[in-house]
Structure 1
Amino acid sequence: MDTKQGVLDILNDLTGEDLSDQMDENIFDNGLMDSMASVQMLLSLQEKFDIDVPVSEFNRAEWDTPNKIVAKVESLENE
């Protein structure tokens, strides 16, 4: 599975937006995601990619753009 496309699919489901041309846009600052959506995103990422991301360890600054999310998922997949 392509990690980037999988992440974009999840973000599209959550935001209703195609973010493929906004990979460095802050999804929280631009109002596309809030704290509830971030929890749903983490749950979806964990399910789709079989990774573990405890909500208590979630640092929004590390997950605030699609590119950062892809990088975090890829790093967690390799653990």
Structure 2
Amino acid sequence: MNIQETVLNILADLTGTDEVKENLDLALFDEGLLDSLGMVQLLVEIEGQLSVSVPVSEVERESWGTPKKIISQVEALS
């Protein structure tokens, strides 16, 4: 499984919707699909499944607000 598939599967599990896989520009925070606790859970899952460590202090809501942006950030760190 590649980074994009893994991140999208994690997001689908956390948000409870496959819409994150269909619309990569979905505004996760604005739509109420992700909050700060959900972001921490996302980072834990990314580290566990992809071995990519992302410090919470490095996460800005603007640059991690859509599935596409999250995938881009994880790819840049891997």
Give CA deviations for 1:12-68 in whole Å, capped at 9, x if unaligned.
Answer: 110011111110011000000111001000111111111111111111111100000
Q: Report SS of the residue matched to 1:20.
A: helix
**Residue aligning to 2:28:** 27
Structure with a larger share of its residues in helix: 2
Q: State the TM-score, normalizing by the size of structure 1.
A: 0.92
Residue segments in structure 2 that go unaligned for 5+ positions in a row: none
What are structure 1's unaligned runs of at least 5 residues?
none
In structure 2, how many angstroms separate the alpha carbons of the residues matched to 1:73 and 1:58? Answer: 11
Please tell me the residue identity of whatever aligns with 1:17.
T
Q: How do residues 35-50 of structure 1 correspond to structure 2 at under 5 angstroms? A: 35-50=36-51
Which residue is 2:13 aligned to? 13
Partner residue in 2 for 1:56: 57
Cα RMSD over matched residues?
Answer: 0.8
Q: Matched residues in 2 for 1:65 and 1:6: separation?
A: 15
Percent of matched pairs sharing the same residue: 44
- 4+ runs deviating over 2 angstroms: none
TM-score by structure 2 length? Answer: 0.93
The aligned length equals 77
